[in-house]
Structures are given as C-alpha cells and as structure tokens.
Amino acid sequence: MLLIIVTALSQQAGAQSPVPPGAAVERVTGGYQFTEGPLWREPGYLLFSDIPANTVYKWTPGNGSEIYLKPSGNSNGLAEDLQGRFLLAQHGNRRVARIEADGTEISLASHYEGKRLNSPNDLTVKSDGSVYFTDPPYGINSSQEELGFYGIYRLGADGVLTLLDNSLTRPNGIVFSPDEAVLYVNDSQNRKIYVWDVGGDGLLSGKRLFATMTGSGSADGMKVDVSGRLYSTGPGGVWIYAPDGTLLDRIDVPGQTTNLNWGEPDRKTLYITSGANVYSIRLDAAGTRVNRARTIAPERIVLFNNYPNPFNPHTTIDFELPERSAAVIEIFDLRGTRVKTVAKGVFSPGRHSVSWDATDDRGHRVPGGVYFVRLSAGTEILMGKMVLVR
C-alpha cells in the first residue's frame, strides 16, 4: 500500500508547475556572441560555451566571468563523466572530447564506421559510464557531411560507439528520465520531442512522440528534475512538461534560448543560455545529477549520514536502493512535525543524492536545531539525525 501511495504522490508532484508565482529570469552575465551548454561544477561555478568565440567561459557568483578554455573546439554541450572529468561536444573538431585532470584534451568519438561525425551537439551521461550524444550538422556545411544522416549515439564505457537512431531531421537536446528508463531527444527544427525506452543493454526501442512545441524558433537543450518533469528550451524560452507529456508552464526568456542546466548546491537554480546572455531562475524543484558512485546495485536499502553535519544552510543526503522502487525523503523536527518533503519519486537501483536547503515546504527558513531525515522506500523506513546551525 505504501508503494502505491508514494507513486501516486510522485505523479501528482510531477503534474504541478515548479515555477513560483511571479518568478522571472534574471540576467547573470552577458555580452557574448552565442552562448550554449551551461554546466555547474563544484566547488561552485558555472561553465558555458560561446560557440563562435571558440571559448568556454567560467562564471563565479560575485566574481563574474573569465576564460576557462580557449580554443574549445567550438564547443556546444558540456557535461561531466562519472569521474568528474570535463566533456565537450565540439562543433569545430567534430567530436566528443574529454579534458583530463592534467589539462590534456583527448578525443572520445570522432568517426563512425570510418566516416567523420557531423557536428556533435549535446550530450548526457548515464550511470553506467556511457555517454549519449546527438550529431546534427549545425557546425558544418553540406559539402563536409560524410555520413548522410544525423544520429543519436551511445559511447560505451568500453569506448565502443553505437548508432542508436538516425530517424530525426535535426537531433539536438538529449536527457534521461531520473530512473534512466527512458531517453528524451528533441528534433530541433520540427520542434518535436521524442522518447524511447532504454534497454538493459543501453539500446533504444519504442520511439514515440512526447510533445510538440508551437511558435517561431527551435527546440534545443533539455534537462529533467527529480520528479521527472522535462524542461526543454524552445520558442520563447523554457517549456516544462509533466512526465506524461502535459505542458505545465513556460518560462519566458529573452533572445534565442539554447540550453539549460541545474546549479547551486541544492540544484534548484536553473541556468539558461540564450543568445548573448546567461540567465537564472530559482524553482520549486531540484535537478537530477549523474551519480558517480552508482555502478552496481546494493544488496539492501541504505540511508547514509548527511554531509556536512552540522550544516548551514545546505546539506546532502545520500541513499541506496537495491531495486527500482518508489521512495520519499522527508525532514521532521524534534516534535515529529514534517517540515519538508525533499524528494519523492520512483528511483532506479543504486546510490542517489538529494539536497536540503533548510527551508520548509513553503520555502521559509527553519530555525537552527536538531532535525531528522526519514527515508521511506517500499515497506522500509530509515531515519537519520542532522544538526542545523544558524
């Protein structure tokens, strides 16, 4: 019965707009040529591409922006792998590349069956270490094309490159659902989002239309939150969909909106690249992240000690699940009153991380003191103690 109730609550949460009343984007930095591929990295800065400038910039709150990597291979989408190494989809170099810890840049994928890739555009990392990416021709002209199609690829942790699909006119944004059971890819010029089932071997099946955008413009980068809502850049800004494809809301963004990603320690700030600028907006939702520790399924449900502890105001809560199941993370005070539901949804096997920002369900700051975190998964309930210092 608990499983049914939690699943229902998760579906209900995914059907609500995460945009607070009256919220609007704020410009955080600007004056570039054409921005793309935002990526938040610890200990607390944002990277983003300026494609024609052949540069990746680093923006730090309070300190502004500086050049991080130049030349960047005319990078577009950016990501991190399971080891925290920097990944780039490069238009100019026509490849997916990785920056090693010593700064060395290596090519991960540049050819398929002996022919050069078109122009890798965006990428996402799966918890098994594989990299999925799209390869439209936006960075080249027709005379440079060698493949004759525009593909969706899987680069396995073993280095094997597999073509998954070549049916889209311009495959672009790409992202997994939180449990990695499905993969979303949008067809940029047609303003359509498609979804596939992801098999145990990482291959795709069951292609179906998820949503169609209207208006003047193109579909581009995509991300999801922990409740499974899908965020896609498109005409006029960011389009937000429930897991069943229902349009929940749209965030208006000036300029040609290109990509987005979650940032800040609690991953509730959405950073958005659009034209010459980068914008941000705080949402009532937390973004997913690739779990670097999730390589094999654990044998039992585990709730780890939060860190840091004591904390102010952010702390991270890790937990492990032996199988795909519904789970709820809640915070209670010393009186046993529920303060906040931090996360609820259906999670895949392995280790997961969520954050609490020391606010209640209404977004109000809670006082310092002792609190308890409760993990409910299946028929099991686990508790942990944490200390908030104000």
| DSSP one-letter string for 153-217 | EEE-TTS-EEEEE---SSEEEEEE-TTSSEEEEEETTTTEEEEEEE-TTS-EEEEEEEEE--SSS
pLDDT (0 to 100) of residue 10: 39
Higher pLDDT, 184 or 42: 184
Which amino acid appears at position 383 of this protein?
Answer: M
CATH code at position 252: 2.120.10.30
Query: What pLDDT is attached to residue 104?
Result: 87
Query: Is residue 3 assigned to a domain?
Result: no
Q: What digits encode the pLDDT tens for the residues 283-309?
A: 999 998 775 544 455 678 999 888 778
Taking residues 263-289, what's their average pLDDT? 94
Q: How many domains does the chain have?
A: 2
- Are residues 231 and 331 both part of a single domain? no
Range of the domain at 277: 17-282
- CA 97 to chain CA mean position, Å: 19
Q: What was the pLDDT predicted at 319? A: 86
Q: What percent of the chain shows pLDDT beyond 70? A: 94
52/124 same-domain check: yes
What is the mean pLDDT of the segment spanning 92-104? 91
Residue 88 lies in a domain: yes
Same domain, 260 and 312: no
Q: What average pLDDT does range 60-66 have in this prediction?
A: 94
What the block records as the tokens of 176 is 């997994």
Residue 84 pLDDT class (50, 70, 90 cuts)? confident
Query: Does a structural domain hold residue 40?
Result: yes
Distance CA(189)–CA(217), nearest Å, equals 8
Same-domain status, 216 and 308: no
Q: What is the pLDDT of residue 23?
A: 96
Residue 271 half-sphere exposure toward CB, CA atoms < 13 A? 25
Read off the tokens for 247.
């349009």
Does one domain contain both 134 and 274?
A: yes
Mean pLDDT along residues 256-268: 95
Residues 175 and 232 in one domain: yes
Distance between CA atoms of residues 45 and 39, nearest Å: 8
* Residues 202, 126: Cα–Cα separation, whole Å: 9
359: part of which helix (H) or strand (E)? none
Q: For the segment 184-216, what is each residue's pLDDT rounded down to a tens digit?
A: 999 999 999 999 999 989 999 999 999 999 999
